[in-house]
Amino acid sequence: MARIASGDPLPATVEAAKTADAGDCFIGEASTVCCLPGLVNVGVQKAGTGELQTWLGVHPAVKVHGGEVHFFDDQERTPSCNAQWRGHLRLRYARFLWKRQRLREADVRGRLLFEKTPAYFDRAQPRQVACAIPAARVLIMLREPAARAHSAYDMCQREQEGRWCKAPFAQVVERVLVGGGGNSSDAAPLHTSRRQMQRSPHLRRLFLMGHYSTFMRRWLDVFVWPHVGVLWLEQFKADPFACMHAVERFAGLAHHPYRTVATRNEAGLYVVGRSKSDYERKRAPSPWAAGDTRAVVSATAALEAAMVRVRAYYAPSQRRLAQLLQKTNTSLLPELPSPVTGLL
C-alpha cells in the first residue's frame, strides 16, 4: 500500500525531513502544507500519462499535482544518499512540487499524492528519486516504441516547430536508422547513425528513449520490484477501467466507479472530462490539409514503410523488455497488448 498523507504533517525542517518518506507532508509558515508524493508516474512521454493524471484527478482519495514537475530532470549526480542530503532533498522536492498551489491540511488528509513527469523515465537518476521517496510506488506507462517515437515527433511538428523536426518523419527515419534493408525480415540489425545522433540531441532522445528495458533496469535497481508497475497506453485504449482498477490496487486505493463518470469521445476513446485525445488527432498534417490526393498516398506509404523500419529497429530491445517484465512481474495487467506482443 502506498503511503497516504493521513498522518499529522511534520515540521518543515531538514531534521524532520530526514525521517520522512513518500506520502508524508510538511507544515510550514502560515499553516501551508507541502507533501511528498506516494505515487509517481515517471513516463514515458506520449504514453498517456496526461490522461492517467486526469482520471486519477477525479478519484476522491487522490490529490494530483495537475501539471508536470520536472524536479529530478538532469540533476547532477550526488555522491551518496546520507541523512543530511535526504532531508534537504525531500524538503526541496516537496516545496518545489506544490509551489504554485497553496495546500491546506484538509486538501491532503487521507489522500494519495500524485505527480507525473514523463521525462523522469530517461532524464532522472532513479537513485536520486529513491533517495527522496524510497517507499513510493513508481508507475511506468509505456507505448509500442515506434508509435511513441512517431507521436513525439508529431507533437514537435505541431507544437514546438523546432528545427530538428522540420523534415517528414519518414525522411528522418531513413537518415537516422542505418543497416538492414528497410525490411523487418532482413537479417542485418538496424542501428542509429552515430553522426545523425551527434548532430541532434533531440533525435537522440527520441530514438533512445524507446529502448525501455535499458531505462527500466535503472529504476528496478533502486526500487523494490513490487513498488514498480508497468502499464501500456495500448491497454488503456482497450480497457481504461481495467487499467484504473489495476492502478488502484497497485497504489492501495479504494475502487472508484469510473464507468459512471467516463464518456466516449469522437475518437471512440473513453475520457473523463477534457482529454488530449479530443483535439490532438483533429490537427491534420499539411498534405491532408491541402487535399492533394497523390501527396497523401505517397506520404502515407512513406510513413508506413518508415514505421516498419522503426519497429524492426526496436524489436531486439522489445524482446529484452518482455524478459524483464516476466522476470520482475511488474506488469499491472497480465495480458500484454497485441502491438507489443506482436514484437516479442
Ligand X SMILES: Nc1ncnc2c1ncn2[C@@H]1O[C@H](COP(=O)(O)OS(=O)(=O)O)[C@@H](OP(=O)(O)O)[C@H]1O
Among 59, 63, 90, 237, binds ligand X (CB under 6 A): 237
Q: Is 143 annotated as a binding residue?
A: yes
Cell 515506434 identifies what position? 146
Q: Which stretch binds ligand X (CB under 6 A): 10-18, 47-55, 132-140, 244-252?
A: 47-55
Among 18, 276, 285, 316, binds ligand X (CB under 6 A): 276
The contact pattern for ligand X, residues 141-170, with x = CB under 6 A and - = no contact, is ----------x---x---------------
Sequence-ordered strand ranges (E) for the chain: 10-11, 25-27, 33-35, 39-43, 62-64, 112-116, 137-142, 177-178, 191-192, 228-232, 263-264, 270-271
Judge whether 46 counts as a catalytic residue. Answer: yes
Q: 3-class DSSP state for residue 38?
A: coil
Please list every residue from 250 through 269 that binds ligand X, using CB under 6 A: 269
Among 35, 47, 64, 321, binds ligand X (CB under 6 A): 47
CB of 253 to ligand X, least distance (A): 19
Contacts (Cβ under 8 Å, ≥6 apart) of 309 = 173, 174, 177, 180, 182, 184, 190
Applying CB under 6 A, what is the total number of residues that bind ligand X?
21
Among 9, 23, 33, 46, binds ligand X (CB under 6 A): 46
Q: Is 151 annotated as a binding residue?
A: yes
What the block records as the C-alpha cell of 29 is 509558515
- Please tell me the number of Cα atoms within 13 Å of 24 on its side-chain side: 20
48 binds ligand X (CB under 6 A): yes
Among 9, 118, 229, 337, binds ligand X (CB under 6 A): 118
With beta carbons less than 8 A apart as the criterion, state whether 31 and 105 touch: yes
Q: Which stretch binds ligand X (CB under 6 A): 7-15, 19-27, 231-239, 295-303?
A: 231-239
Nearest to 155 by CA among 302, 164, 311: 164
Alpha-carbon distances of 315 from 17, 33, 144, 175, rounded to whole Å: 44, 47, 10, 19
87 binds ligand X (CB under 6 A): no
- Rounded Cα distance, 144 and 25, in Å: 37
How many separate helices (H) and strands (E) can be counted in the chain?
A: 17, 12
270 binds ligand X (CB under 6 A): yes
Cite the active site residues. Answer: 46
Binding residues for 3'-phosphoadenylyl sulfate: 143, 151, 270
Binding residues: 143, 151, 270
Binding site for ligand X (CB under 6 A): 45-51, 118, 151, 155, 233, 236-237, 269-271, 275-277, 280-281
